[in-house]
Structure 1
Amino acid sequence: MSHVTYVYRERRRTPLLLLPLVGLWRLVTGVAKLTGIVLALILGVLFMLVGAALTAT
């Protein structure tokens, strides 16, 4: 028989007055992450197209 132990991290409570700042910070970091992903996708496709064009010539 195997015994599985779950370790739960203590959840920190945010003071009520700081909730708007925490929400704004999460929104800003989420937008920054999404922007980084889209930028990496565009650059990846661009480099593949340039590589294919250079290979074909």
Structure 2
Amino acid sequence: MFGDMQIGKCLKLHDNLPIDDSIINIVDGKVKQEVQIKLQNVECGELELEMEWLPLEQ
């Protein structure tokens, strides 16, 4: 139904942990978002997540 496209963006703010803005895309008909988060209370580290949004009812 939809081609690949950007449908949203979560902005990095000074009081939250994401490293960069997070883009929400439709890829192959699926809604996906990639997020990079800086770990706290550790010497160093980052966590990279790719989330796929699913409907609660199918």
Global fold match (TM > 0.5): no
Higher strand share: 2
TM-score (structure 1 length as normaliser): 0.18
Q: Which has the higher contact order (CA 8 A, sep 6+)?
A: 2
TM-score (structure 2 length as normaliser): 0.18
Higher helix share: 1
